A and B are shown apart, each in its own frame.
Chain A
Amino acid sequence: MVSALYLIAAALAAAFLLGLLKEQWRGAAYAVTLAALAFMIWVSAGWLWAFALEGAAPVEIFTAGAEPPFAINLRMGLAEAALTLLINLTGLLSALYLKDALSRLGRRALAVLLIAIMALCGIVLTRDVFNLFVFFELIVIATGGLVLLSDDDHALAAGFKYLIVSQVISVFLLVGIIFAYHATGTLNIDGMAGASLGLKTGGALAFFLMFIAVVAELKPFPANGWALDIYESAHPAFSAIFSAATGAAALYAVDKLLLIGGADWLPVATGIGLVTFVAANILALPQTNDRRLLGYSSIAQTGLVLAVLGQRDILGDATPYIAFGLLASHAVAKAGLYWLSGLVAGRALADWAALRNRPLLLFAFVTFICMLAGLPPFPGFYAKWELARFLAAEGRLALLALILFGALVEAGYLFRWLGYLIKREAPAAETACTPHQATAVFAAVIAGWALGFVWGDLSGRNNLLLVLPLLFALAFLLLEWLPAWTKNTLAIAGMVGWFVLTWTEYDPLRLIFAVIFLIGGAITLLASYAAHGRRIGFYPSAMLMYAGMAMLIRATDSFDFFAAWELLTVGSYFLILRGKHSEPHALSYILFSLGGAFLILAGFALAAQGAPHFDIASLGQLGQPAQPLAPWIFLLLAIGFMTKTAAIGVHIWLPGAHAEAETDVSPMVSGILLKAGLFGLFLLLMTMGRQRLYGIELTHALLWIAALTALLGNLMAIFQEDAKRLLAYSSIGQMGYALFGLALMNHLGWLMALMFVINHYIYKAMLFLSIGGVAKRTGTREMYRMGGLIRMMPLSFIPVLIGIIAVSGVPPLSGFGGRWIFYNAIMTAELRLPLVVIFLAGPIAFLYLFRLIHTIFLGQLKDEFRRVREAPFWIVLPQMIYVVLLLVFAVVPGLALRHVDAYLNRFFPEGGLGWTGPAITSSYGYWNPIAIMIVVGVIFATLLAWLLFVNRRAQKVRQFNIVFAAERPFRPETTHYAWNFFAPYRKAMGFLVQPFVTRFWETLTDLLHTAGDLARRLYDGNGQSYAFHFLAFVVAVFLLRGGV
C-alpha cells in the first residue's frame, strides 16, 4: 500500500514541478496536475479498498520518525480514505471541468488548485491541531486565489471578504491552540483528548476557541455571509470543491476536535448544526439565484451532518454510516449541481429550463435533486431512516421533528426548481457542454448511483437497487430510445408478469390491492397506446410508481414499506409533472406527500424503538417502551396515510394534480394511486385497531374527518367548471367514504371500504379516461364550453353514463352495493353525528354527476365542435373494459368480496355477510344483485319496447327545434345552460366551501418565505458585517452554552 503521506507529497511535488515548467507549456502543466490528482485518487482508493474489503487496520504515519507529541502524526483509516477519495475525486473532476480556465491562467492557478486539494487531504489526515491550523491557512490562501478564477466581478470582493473573516477565525483558532498547548503540553488531538483538556485551567476556554473557529469553517448560521458570496460569485467548479470537498474536510476536523471536547460539546454541535440546517433551508426559499441557492443548501446539509455528529452519543457505531451517507449524498449532488450550473447561461432558477433539451443532463439533475432530498435508493435515504430510528428510540423527538421539518423545506425549494426545469420555457440558446464538463457531471451521476448501491448493501436490509420491480422500472431509463408503443407493451407485460409470479403470496385483502395496482394498472396503460413518439420520461416515472406499489403490498418490514412508499411518491410526482400546466400542482403534491412520508417515518421509528428491523405486523403488539406511545404512533401513521388519500385539511394538492395530469395519467393517479393510502390505513387499523389519546378515541376522530371529507369533497365538486377538477374533488369525497368505512371499525365497514376501493378504481379510471378523451378532442376542460357532444362522441358518453349511475349508488349498478353495505355497517356504528354529515354528502353526488354528463354531452352542441371526432381508439378501449367490469361486478360482487368477507372474520368475527346463492344477507337486510338487475332490465326493456311501438314514427329534429318562449334560438352559446350550473345551491350552501384550508397552507408557506426574506437582509454584502456576524455567533454560542 502506498503511504498516505504521498497524498501530500505528490501534490506538493507536482506544484513545485509546475514552477519549473515554462509559462507557455500550458498543456504539460495541465497534464502534470491531472496526473498528480489521479495519483492521489489511486492512493486514496487503494486505502479505501484495503479498509473496506480487506479489513486492514488504520495506519499511523509519524512524520519525523518520532511519536507525538514530539512530531506530527497523520492517520489513515476508513473514514480518512473515504474522505480523501471524495476530496481528490472532486479535485480531479473540477480540474477537468476547469480545463479552459486553467489552461488560460496557466501553472500558477494549477499550483493553487493542487495546494488546495493537498491541504484538504491534510486536514483529514492530520492528528495535530497546529498542523490543522496550518492546513486551514493553506486553504484560506488557496481559496482566495481560486475564487478569482471566476469571470464574475463580485468574485474579487467575495474573496476579500473571505480573507477578512478567515483572519478573524484564524486568530481564534491560533489563540485556542496556544492555550490548549499550554494546558496539556501537547498539540496532538488524541493526546489532548487523553489529557482531558476541558478539566484543566483555561482548558475549556481554549477548546471553545478552537472549536468555534473550526465550526465557523462549516459556515454556520448566521456567520456565513462570506461563504454565500463565494458560492454565488466563484467559478462553479471551484464552488463544487468549496461545497463538497472543503465542507467534508471541515466536518471531519470538527469531528476530530469533538474527541477533545468530549460528550459535553456534542449538544453544542447538534444545536449549531440544527439551527444552521433549518435556518439555511428557510433562507434558501426566497432565493432566485441558482448558485446562491446551492450555497444555502450546502450550508444546510453541512449543518445537518454536524447535527448528526453531535448525536454520536446515541448513534454510536452507526455514526459513520449515517453521517457519511448524508455527507456523500450532499457532496456528490452538490458538486454535480455546481458543475451543471456552469453549463447554464442565466443565473435565475428558471433559466435552467435550458437543460430540458438535453435529456441526459436532465437525468443528471434529477439524480442530484433526489439525492439531496434523501429519496430512495440514494444513501441519504438510508441515512435518514437510521437517524430517525435512533433519535426516536432515545426520545429526541424535537430534534427529529426539526430535522424532518428542515428536510421538507429543503424539498420545497429543490422540487420547485425541478418544476421550473421541466415546465418552464426553455431559452432558445443551445446548452454548450464540453466533453470535459460532461465527464465531471456524469462521473457524479455514476458515483451517486454507486453510493446508493453501496449504502443499500451496507444497510443490512433489502438493497433497493436489487429489488426486481425497481430494477424493472429503472431499466426503462435505458430503453428510452424505443418507440412508446414498444415500451408500453413491455410495461404491461412486466406488470401482468409480476402479478402472475406473485399472486399466490397475497392474502385476499392484499390480492384485491394487487389486482388493482398491477392488473388495473396494466388496463389503464392500454390508453397509453394512444400516445405517439418516444414519450421520453413517461415510462420510467410510471413504472417507478407501479414498482413502488408492487413493493408496497409485499412489504412486511417497515423499512421496505417506507421505501416502497417513497418510490411510488417519486414516480407519481414525475408522472403528474408531465401535465402541461401541472408545475405548481406537482410541487404541492410532492410536498404534501413528503410531509406525509416523514410522519410515517417518524411513526415507524417511534414504534420500532431502536430495533433494527420492525415488522409492520408488530404494530399490533408493541413492546414496553413503545406501548404508551401507541396513540401517537397511530396518529402519525394515520395522518401520513391520509395525506395520500387527500383527507380534508391535507387535500389541497389533489384537484390540481389530478386535473392537470395527462389524459392517461389522471386515471392512474386517481383510480390507482389513491388506493395506496387506503392500503396503508387498512394495515394500520388491522394492526393497531382502536387507540385513545387524551380520552379521545382516535377512530372516532377519523370518522369525523372522513365524514367532513366526503361532504366537502362533494360540495366542492359541484361548483367546478373544469371537468377534470370536478372528478378530482369527487375523488376526495369518495375517499372520504372509504375512510369512513374503515373508521367504523366493524366488519361491514371494512368491507364497504374495500367495495369503494374496487368501485372507485373502476369508475374513476373510466371517467377520467372518457373526460380526458373529450378534453383532448375539444381542447378544453371547461364544461360550459362544451355541450351536445353525445352526437359526436357517443362511445365516450356510454362510460360516463354508466359511471355516474355507479358513482351515485343507484341500483342496479355496483355503486349500490357499496351503499347497501354502508347502511348495514352503520347500523352498529358507535357515533351517530358523523353519520348525519355523511348522509348530507350522499345526495350532493347527484348534483356534480349530473352536471358532468349534462354540460358536456347534453344540451347544445357548439359550432366549433361540429367536426370533432370520437376519442382515439386506445382511449376508448379501456373504458369499454371498465364498463364490462362494472357490470360484472354489479351482478356478481361476490367474486371479489366473498373471500375478503371471510378474511375479515379474523378481525371481526361478528357481522359478516351471508352468501346464499345469488342473495346477500346481513343481520339487518338482504340484497339480490342478480334479481335487481333482471327486474330493472325487464321493466326497462318492456317500457322501451312499448314506447318504440307507440312512437315508431318519431322524427329526428334539428338542434334548435325546441319551444323557447315563442322564439327559435340560433346561438348554442346562449341556449346552453351550463355556467354556474348550481347557482341556487351556491347561494344556500356556498358558505361551506370557503377555501379556508388553502388559505391556511398558503399563509404558512408565505410566512416561511417572508421569514426567509427578512433574515436574508442580514447578509448585506459588507465584509465588516460578516466579521461582526461571526463575533455575534461566537458570543451567542458562548452565552447559550452558559459559558464554558
Chain B
Amino acid sequence: MQFEWMKIPYALLTLFIVVNFGMLLGAFIQKIGARVGRRHGIPVWQNHIDLIKNYGLRSSITHGTMFYLGPVFRLSGGVGLLLFVPTIHGSEMFSNLSFAGDLILALYFVFFGALGMALGAGESGHPHAAIGVTRGLSQMSMAELPFALATFSIALQYQTLSITDIVAAQQGGMLNWTLFTNPLAVAAAMLSFLGSMMRPPFDVVLAPQEIPIGPPTEYHSSYLALMQTNRALFPIAKIVIYMNLFFGGAASWPVFFFKVFLIYLWSAFVGVVFPRFRVEQSIRWFLVWAVPLGVLSILLV
C-alpha cells in the first residue's frame, strides 16, 4: 500500500467522525448505566460540554516537562491507534494510514499512550497517580494476554497479520465472521475486552466513583480536555480492532456505528451487573477464565 497526500484529509475526517461519535456514545452508555441503576443520567451531549468547559478553564499549572507531555502522549496514542487501522472495509477513503504497519503495529501502539500518560502523571508527584498506574499496569499485564492469544490464534487461522486481509476473509455472510469460525478466540478476546474498558468489575484502576485515583487525579483544564478527547476516541479505536478481527469489520458507517455500539454495550452490560474486583482478584480471574480459552483457541486453530 502506498502513501498519497490525499490520505491526510481523509484520515482527519475519520478522526472527526470517530471523536464525535465516541463522545456521544460514551455519554449514551453512561446514561444506560444510570438508567439500570434507576438514575436519570447525563445528557448525551455532556461530554461535548465538558470538553468546551475544560478548554475554557483559566487556571493552568504544570509540574514539569513530562507532566506536560503526558496528555500529548495519551492522545497521540489514541489518534495513532485509530489511524493505523482501516476503519471502513473496502473504502480507500477510510483505510487511514494502515499502510505503515499491520496488526502487530496496532497491538503494540495501544501501549504508547498508556506509557506516556503514566509518565506524565508520575511527574505530578501525586501518590494516587502512581498507585493508579501500578494497578492499571498490573491488571493490564494479565487482561491483555487473552487478547494477544486470540489475536495470534486468528492470525494463524487466516495466515496473515494484515488487518485488511483478516476483514476480507470474513466477508460474505455472518457465518464467516471469526465469531463463528473461531468462537474460542472471540470468547477469550471479549473477556479481555472487559479488562481494558475501565468499567466494573475491572475499574479499580481509576476508582472513578469514590476517590479520584489514577492519572487524571492531577490533570485539569486543557490537559484534561486532551485526555477526555482520548477517553472518547480510544475505546472506539480499540473496538474497531475487535470489530475488524472478530465481527467481520464494517463496510459502511451505519454498520460501523451499530457494531461499535453493540461491542461497547457488552462492557456496559457486564459492568452494571457485576461488582468491582480488587487488582489481584482480576489478575486471577483473567488467568483462570480467559487465558485458558485463549490457549485452547491457539491449540485448536
Contact with A along B144-186 (1 / 0, CB 8 A): 1100110010011001111000000000000000000000000
Q: Is the CB of B72 within 8 A of A947?
A: yes
Q: Distance (Å) between the CB of A488 and the closest chain B CB?
A: 34
Q: Is the CB of A940 within 8 A of B115?
A: no
Residues of chain B within 8 A of A860, CB atoms compared: 125
Most buried by A among B111, B221, B226, B299: B111
List, sorted by A's number, 28 A–B pairs whose CB atoms are closer than 8 Å: A794-B65, A820-B101, A823-B152, A836-B295, A844-B141, A847-B134, A847-B137, A850-B119, A858-B66, A858-B119, A859-B122, A860-B125, A924-B159, A932-B100, A939-B83, A944-B69, A944-B72, A947-B222, A951-B62, A951-B68, A955-B60, A962-B124, A962-B125, A963-B126, A972-B125, A982-B134, A985-B138, A988-B142
Q: Is the CB of A984 within 8 A of B61?
A: no
Among A859, A955, A959, A984, the residue within 8 A (CB) of B130 is A859
Asked whether A935 is an interface residue with its Cβ less than 8 Å from the other chain, the reply is yes
Asked whether B284 is an interface residue with its Cβ less than 8 Å from the other chain, the reply is yes
Please list the residues of chain A having a beta carbon within 8 angstroms of any beta carbon in chain B.
788, 790-791, 794, 801, 804-805, 808-811, 816, 819-820, 823-824, 826-827, 832-833, 835-836, 839-840, 842-844, 846-847, 850-851, 853-854, 858-861, 922, 924-928, 931-932, 935-936, 939-940, 943-944, 947, 950-951, 953-957, 959-964, 972, 975-978, 981-985, 987-989
Residues of chain A within 8 A of B141, CB atoms compared: 843-844, 846-847, 985
Q: Is the CB of A805 within 8 A of B115?
A: yes
User: Nearest chain-B residue to A826 (Cβ)?
Assistant: B152
* Contacts known (A985-B138, A988-B283); A943 close to B97, Cβ less than 8 A: no
Among A810, A847, A956, A983, the residue within 8 A (CB) of B109 is A810
Q: Is the CB of B64 within 8 A of A943?
A: no
Residues of chain A within 8 A of B119, CB atoms compared: 801, 850, 853-854, 858
User: Nearest chain-B residue to A791 (Cβ)?
Assistant: B64
Q: Distance (Å) between the CB of B48 and the closest chain A CB?
A: 17
In the complex, chain B residues 56-105 whose Cβ is within 8 Å of any chain A Cβ: 58, 60-66, 68-69, 71-73, 75-76, 79-80, 83-84, 97, 99-105
Q: Is the CB of A926 within 8 A of B125?
A: no
- Beyond known contacts A805-B115, A850-B133, A947-B71: 5 more, CB 8 A cutoff: A835-B152, A922-B161, A925-B101, A964-B128, A988-B280
The majority secondary structure among interface residues of chain A is helix
* Contacts known (A819-B108, A935-B100, A943-B79); A976 close to B284, Cβ less than 8 A: no
Q: Is the CB of B97 within 8 A of A957?
A: no
Q: Is the CB of B71 within 8 A of A957?
A: no
Q: Is the CB of B159 within 8 A of A927?
A: no
In the bound assembly, the distance between CA atoms of A86 and B80 in angstroms comes to 77
Q: Is the CB of A810 within 8 A of B60?
A: no
User: Nearest chain-B residue to A840 (Cβ)?
Assistant: B145
In the bound assembly, the distance between CA atoms of A926 and B141 in angstroms comes to 26
Residues of chain B within 8 A of A842, CB atoms compared: 148
Q: Is the CB of B223 within 8 A of A947?
A: yes
Q: Is the CB of B127 within 8 A of A928?
A: no
In the bound assembly, the distance between CA atoms of A124 and B222 in angstroms comes to 94
Asked whether B55 is an interface residue with its Cβ less than 8 Å from the other chain, the reply is yes
* Contacts known (A826-B152, A925-B162, A936-B76); A816 close to B64, Cβ less than 8 A: no
In the bound assembly, the distance between CA atoms of A926 and B103 in angstroms comes to 9
Q: Is the CB of A962 within 8 A of B126?
A: yes
Q: Is the CB of A984 within 8 A of B152?
A: no
* Contacts known (A843-B141, A925-B161); A850 close to B118, Cβ less than 8 A: yes
Among B55, B284, B299, the residue within 8 A (CB) of A988 is B284
User: Nearest chain-A residue to B126 (Cβ)?
Assistant: A962
Q: Is the CB of A850 within 8 A of B80?
A: no
User: Nearest chain-B residue to A797 (Cβ)?
Assistant: B66
Residues of chain B within 8 A of A823, CB atoms compared: 104, 152, 155, 161
Among A827, A861, A936, A954, the residue within 8 A (CB) of B159 is A827
Q: Distance (Å) between the CB of A547 and the closest chain B CB?
A: 40
In the bound assembly, the distance between CA atoms of A790 and B73 in angstroms comes to 18
Q: Distance (Å) between the CB of B60 and the closest chain A CB?
A: 4
Q: Is the CB of A810 within 8 A of B62?
A: no
Residues of chain A within 8 A of B217, CB atoms compared: 963
Q: Is the CB of B66 within 8 A of A843?
A: no
Q: Is the CB of A810 within 8 A of B108?
A: yes
Most buried by A among B80, B149, B218, B223: B80
Residues of chain B within 8 A of A810, CB atoms compared: 108-109, 111-112, 115
In the bound assembly, the distance between CA atoms of A842 and B143 in angstroms comes to 12
Residues of chain B within 8 A of A944, CB atoms compared: 69, 72
Residues of chain B within 8 A of A858, CB atoms compared: 66, 119, 122-123, 125, 130
In the bound assembly, the distance between CA atoms of A716 and B23 in angstroms comes to 41
In the bound assembly, the distance between CA atoms of A851 and B284 in angstroms comes to 22
Contact with A along B285-301 (1 / 0, CB 8 A): 00100010011001100
* Contacts known (A984-B278, A985-B141, A988-B280); A927 close to B104, Cβ less than 8 A: yes
Residues of chain B within 8 A of A819, CB atoms compared: 104, 108
* Contacts known (A808-B115, A988-B283); A954 close to B97, Cβ less than 8 A: no
* Contacts known (A854-B122, A984-B135); A962 close to B60, Cβ less than 8 A: no
User: Nearest chain-B residue to A843 (Cβ)?
Assistant: B141
Q: Is the CB of A957 within 8 A of B61?
A: yes
In the bound assembly, the distance between CA atoms of A465 and B25 in angstroms comes to 76
* Contacts known (A858-B123, A957-B61); A951 close to B223, Cβ less than 8 A: yes
Q: Is the CB of A790 within 8 A of B123?
A: yes
Among A851, A955, A962, A982, the residue within 8 A (CB) of B218 is A962
Asked whether B279 is an interface residue with its Cβ less than 8 Å from the other chain, the reply is yes
Q: Is the CB of A943 within 8 A of B162?
A: no
In the bound assembly, the distance between CA atoms of A827 and B140 in angstroms comes to 24
Q: Distance (Å) between the CB of B32 and the closest chain A CB?
A: 30
Q: Distance (Å) between the CB of A13 and the closest chain B CB?
A: 85
Q: Is the CB of A939 within 8 A of B80?
A: yes
User: Nearest chain-B residue to A714 (Cβ)?
Assistant: B141
User: Nearest chain-A residue to B97 (Cβ)?
Assistant: A935
User: Nearest chain-B residue to A917 (Cβ)?
Assistant: B2
Asked whether B265 is an interface residue with its Cβ less than 8 Å from the other chain, the reply is no
Asked whether B272 is an interface residue with its Cβ less than 8 Å from the other chain, the reply is no
Residues of chain A within 8 A of B161, CB atoms compared: 823-824, 827, 922, 924-925
Residues of chain A within 8 A of B212, CB atoms compared: 963
Q: Distance (Å) between the CB of A919 and the closest chain B CB?
A: 8
Q: Is the CB of A854 within 8 A of B133?
A: yes
* Contacts known (A931-B97, A977-B127, A988-B280); A940 close to B76, Cβ less than 8 A: yes
In the bound assembly, the distance between CA atoms of A859 and B124 in angstroms comes to 6
Asked whether B3 is an interface residue with its Cβ less than 8 Å from the other chain, the reply is yes
User: Nearest chain-B residue to A715 (Cβ)?
Assistant: B141
Q: Is the CB of B283 within 8 A of A926?
A: no
Asked whether B207 is an interface residue with its Cβ less than 8 Å from the other chain, the reply is no
Q: Which 5 pairs across A and B sit closest by C-beta, in order of nearness?
A: A925-B161, A858-B122, A925-B102, A984-B279, A988-B283
Q: Distance (Å) between the CB of B278 and the closest chain A CB?
A: 7
Asked whether B131 is an interface residue with its Cβ less than 8 Å from the other chain, the reply is yes
Residues of chain B within 8 A of A989, CB atoms compared: 283
In the bound assembly, the distance between CA atoms of A955 and B64 in angstroms comes to 10
Q: Is the CB of A931 within 8 A of B115?
A: no
In the bound assembly, the distance between CA atoms of A811 and B108 in angstroms comes to 7
In the complex, chain B residues 169-215 whose Cβ is within 8 Å of any chain A Cβ: 212
Q: Distance (Å) between the CB of A888 and the closest chain B CB?
A: 19
User: Nearest chain-A residue to B103 (Cβ)?
Assistant: A925
* Contacts known (A805-B115, A931-B97, A956-B61); A925 close to B160, Cβ less than 8 A: yes
Q: Is the CB of B69 within 8 A of A820?
A: no
Residues of chain A within 8 A of B127, CB atoms compared: 859, 964, 975-977
In the bound assembly, the distance between CA atoms of A794 and B83 in angstroms comes to 32
Q: Is the CB of B145 within 8 A of A977?
A: no
User: Nearest chain-B residue to A804 (Cβ)?
Assistant: B115
In the bound assembly, the distance between CA atoms of A924 and B156 in angstroms comes to 10
Residues of chain B within 8 A of A964, CB atoms compared: 126-128
Residues of chain B within 8 A of A811, CB atoms compared: 101, 105, 108-109, 112
Q: Is the CB of B125 within 8 A of A839?
A: no
Q: Distance (Å) between the CB of A926 and the closest chain B CB?
A: 6
Q: Is the CB of A955 within 8 A of B99?
A: no
Residues of chain B within 8 A of A940, CB atoms compared: 72-73, 76
